Amino acid sequence: MREALEIFRANLERVRSIHALYVNFSGTVTSIVDLSDLLRAEIVLIVSALDHFVHELTRLGMMEIWRGTRATTPAYLRYRVSMDIATQLVAATGVDYHLEMEVRTQHSFSAFQQPDRIAEAVRLFSSIELWNEVGSTLREDPRNITSQLKLIVDRRNKIAHEADVDPSYPGQRWPIDRKDAEDALAFIEKIGEAIFTLLALAYRQAATDQGTAAAARPQQGS
């Protein structure tokens, strides 16, 4: 699952590159030139990075369960696949490929951005209490973490779906400044890294517990 983290980090680096352009141009052009849309683009890409990260973690985690290297979860066992894929899964070849494509297809219609939706995705491959664990790791109230995430996602939605226009003042957009983008980037990076760390720790602990339990079982013929 390390590859999901590396992609997440790379996507955030793209945001930093855009922000560097904003900072550089801000110091060289007059105030008549409106650069605020660069900041809006950053907000959209920051949330997109998190969304894609959760998609990748979920797909990889579910495939690990399928291959027997990760413990099942109730949500995983309830996961529904199409009859077309069910037919493919009884074939002798390409089973992993067909299942992975089914997960990709089903999740292509899902946005893993809001806290509840992210937690639902994680439950497909891990039994951790996501936001409580994230809060404990970051030493913050999980309610504050989820509230801040909702605010960032809501702002992203205003930009992506409403052109960031303030309905109370038609033709005018909601204000945005450099700090808004920088704070959103720092926050999303922080929770993304925390989520990965928690999932990695849970995976290692489960593997250790499984090994301990296997060693404790009486050996056949002993």
The end-to-end CA distance of the chain, in Å, is: 39
User: 């390390």: which residue's tokens?
Assistant: 2
d(CA 46, CA 153): 9
Q: What is the structure's pLDDT at 214?
A: 44
Q: What is the structure's pLDDT at 169?
A: 85
Tens-digit pLDDT profile for residues 184-219? 999 999 999 999 999 998 877 766 555 554 445 555
DSSP 131-146: HHHHHHHHTS-HHHHH
Q: What are phi and psi of 176, to 5 degrees?
A: -150, 145
Q: What is the structure's pLDDT at 215?
A: 46
Q: What is the structure's pLDDT at 149?
A: 98
Query: What six digits make up the tokens of 139?
Result: 């030493």
Instruction: Select from 119, 107, 131, 123 the least CA-distant residue to 56.
Output: 107
d(CA 160, CA 131): 26
Query: What tens-digit pLDDT sequence spans the chain (222 residues)?
Result: 899 999 999 999 999 999 999 999 988 877 778 899 999 999 999 999 999 999 999 999 999 999 998 999 999 999 998 888 888 777 767 788 888 999 999 999 999 999 999 999 999 999 999 999 999 999 999 999 999 999 999 999 999 999 999 998 888 999 999 999 999 999 999 999 999 999 998 877 766 555 554 445 555 554
- What does the domain layout of the chain look like in residue ranges? 2-206
Name the pTM for this structure. 0.89
Q: What is the structure's pLDDT at 33?
A: 81
